[in-house]
Amino acid sequence: MARHAWRAEGGRRRITGFAAAGALTALLGGAALTGAAFADDGHDGHWNTTDGTPCSKQARACVDLAHNQAWLIHDGKITRGPVGISHGGQGKETPIGDFEVQWKDKDHRSAEFNDAPMPYSVFFADGGIAFHEGNPQNPSAGCVHLGHDDAVAWYEDLEVGDPVEIH
């Protein structure tokens, strides 16, 4: 037999005891007691992740440094990728975190590295860190190297202010 009571407190009624737990369980369909509301989201608990990437649905550019891969994303859907990349080597690591596109320069040349060409540069982190055309087989000085066609795609697709996630 269920123990419950409507108890008057300060002019209001409150449900107590087993009835309160039953009402809450009924309201949430059992999820409150089982955790089912969050466990069965189809993303192993990563409900905001773009499928196939380590990045959120809000990211426009996504990089997975551990697997040397990058993606372009629109509205939580992959529009390009995964593509092969290279990134900063030891002592010149590519920064990890959430960034945004700061500026772009199609014909950029590096003031830091003897006027070295950095075609299709999309800068996203302090210190001159950018996506740009480069050999995806060679480590960089912190930038994300993309093959020619991919660098063009990143340059054409991304706009100043777009979110970039580096994992």
Please report, for residues 37, 86, 96, the alpha-carbon distance to residue 61 in angstroms, rounded to integers and kept in the order given. 30, 15, 13
Which residue(s) pair with 126 in the sheet? none
Asked about 132 being catalytic, the answer comes back as yes
The one catalytic residue among 43, 132, 145, 167: 132
- For residues 17 and 70, give the distance between their C-alpha atoms in angstroms, rounded to a whole number: 53
The one catalytic residue among 62, 87, 108, 143: 143
Asked about 55 being catalytic, the answer comes back as no
- Which long-range contacts does 110-116 make (Cβ < 8 Å, 24+ apart)? 112/141, 113/141
Which residues carry out catalysis?
Answer: 132, 143
